[in-house]
Every structure is written in C-alpha cells, then in structure tokens.
Amino acid sequence: MQYRTMGNTTVSAVGLGAMPLSIEHRPDEPQAIATIHAALDAGVTLIDTADSYHWHAGEAGHNELLVARALARYGRDTSHVLVATKGGRGRPGDGSWTVTASPAHLKNAAEASRQRLGVEAIGLYQLHKPDPAVPWAESVGALRELLDAGTIRAAGISNVTTGQIRQAHAILGNDLVSVQNQYSPAVRDSEPELRLSAQLGLAFLPWSPLGGISRSSLDGPSGPTSASTAFHRIAAEHGASPQQIALAWLLTRSPTVIPVPGASRPASIQGSAGAVELELSEEEQAQLADALPLSG
C-alpha cells in the first residue's frame, strides 16, 4: 500500500467507501464484515462512512455501527485506521435523501456518531452537503464548535464549490483537511475544486470514483457503464481491470487525491487497493484524460 497525507495524519492512498454495505442491495453482515477486514488486510487505513448510510427508516447510523463492529472484531491493532464519517443528510426510508445542516442538527448528529463509533473523538467529521436553508458560514461554524469541544479531531466538507471551500478554510484554518466531491472518469465537474484543494493542501476524496467504469452502488442492476474505452484498452495492456486503471489515473491527478471506492465484497476492495501498484506513463495519463468525459 502507498500512503498520502490528510492534515496531520497519514492514510492509505485508496480508502474504503463503506456505503454499499448498508444501503439498498446490501450484503449480509458476515460478508460486510469480511469486506472491511479484507480492506484492512490490504493496507487500507481510511474508511468512509456517514450517519445517513442506511436503507430503511429508523436505521440512522447503520453503517457507523457496522464499521465499529468490524474494527472491534478484527483481532489486530486498528488504532492507525482513520474512520471518516459525515453528518447533514438523512434518509426517510423511501429511497430519497434529505439535507439538514443547521448547527444544532450537526452538533447532535456528531455526538451520536461519536457514540456509535465508540471513540473519544471522531477522527474526521465531514459536513455532508450544504443546506440551502442554512447560511454556509453557520454550518461550517458548527464544525468549528465541534473541533473546539473535542468532539472531532479534524473537519471536512463535501459536495461543495470553490467559494464554499475558501469560506470554510477561512473559518476552520488548518483544521479543515478534506474535500469530498464527486469525481470520476464520467464526472469531472469538480476539476476546479480538485485544483483548489491541492493549492490549499487539502485531501481531495472523490466519491463514486468509478463512475463510467462501474455502476454506482445506488444504481439498479441494469445501470449503464461504459465499455471499450481507453480505460479498458490500457487495462488489458497492464493485465489489470478498468476499475484499477481508473483509480490509478485518479491518483495521478494530484498528490492530494485519495479515492474512496465502494465495495460490498472482499474481492472488490482487494482489487481497488491493488491499483496503487500500477504505474501509468505520461502518454497513458494523457490518453485517459483525453477519453473524458465518458458517458456514465
């Protein structure tokens, strides 16, 4: 495994997106636990979760509890593993997502997440999405209060614009360590946010990083993927999977990029972790960049 810096912490260059283990079409718990353990065996030290990663109504925190159980049952030291969780979104149980990022909600949600994870302080707490009904500075201010109270050790923001990144950085300073936006072979709208994150020294965590190569965990069985692209051709030349090439390409976009691909089987995260071993030539990187955007 290779490692990258996030604030004052070093984490694996590829993390585990734990969402598929708790939402629709989730595996049974033994398989979910085995998937998290496989990630740890492969050297993954960043696990991305959220209080809203669940399927049914009344299940808030399902994924956080699952991650906590998996770590407790691993049988080896996991003190070096950074569990990053998020607050500010909800799932009523009908498949939809809500947004609530008032300071009161975020502070209560963070404390509930801390208890579910069984930690003294959350290693990284991310504001899941800006709430159009709440001034951005007020939502970010809640992160400042959580930091000052010792509920969280570092803060991150997700689904944000460059302006929101700058404003959050002005409020949080060095305690802001990450930006998590959608970015993949199919979706490159966050290129400006990626560049700004690099300039500010913030880790950039692409969510749904395999878009255009693999279906999102929220897609149905017939969800579209691209085929016969430069990613597939270069994968064949390397004896790798297109998914691994996509992750390897993302890692070349900036030294601050840390993809967090989802997985619901041990083999999936093992394959993703193996992407760090691939070296893409400058010509290959250019070919992959020219292939974008794919239709996802």
Question: Taking the mean position of all CA atoms in its chain, how far away is CA 272?
Answer: 13
Exactly one of 3, 53, 74, 125 is catalytic; which is it? 53
Nearest one of 250, 251, 246 to 234, comparing CA atoms: 246
pLDDT of residue 223: 44
289: part of which helix (H) or strand (E)?
Answer: helix 282-290
Q: What is the pTM of this model?
A: 0.93
Q: What is the pLDDT of residues 253-267, one digit of tens each?
A: 999 999 999 999 999
What distance in Å separates the CA atoms of residue 70 and residue 52, rounded to the nearest whole number? 18
Q: Name the phi and psi angles at 207, rounded to 5.
A: -95, 155
Q: Let me know: does 244 contact 235? Beta carbons within 8 Å.
A: yes
**Which residue ranges in the chain fall short of pLDDT 50?**
220-224, 295-296
In this structure, which amino acid lies at residue 114? R
Q: Name the phi and psi angles at 174, rounded to 5.
A: -70, -10
Q: Let me know: does 245 contact 238? Beta carbons within 8 Å.
A: yes
Q: Name the phi and psi angles at 75, rounded to 5.
A: 90, 0
74 is catalytic: no
pLDDT of residue 217: 59
DSSP three-state, residue 156: strand
Q: Let me know: does 156 contact 124? Beta carbons within 8 Å.
A: yes
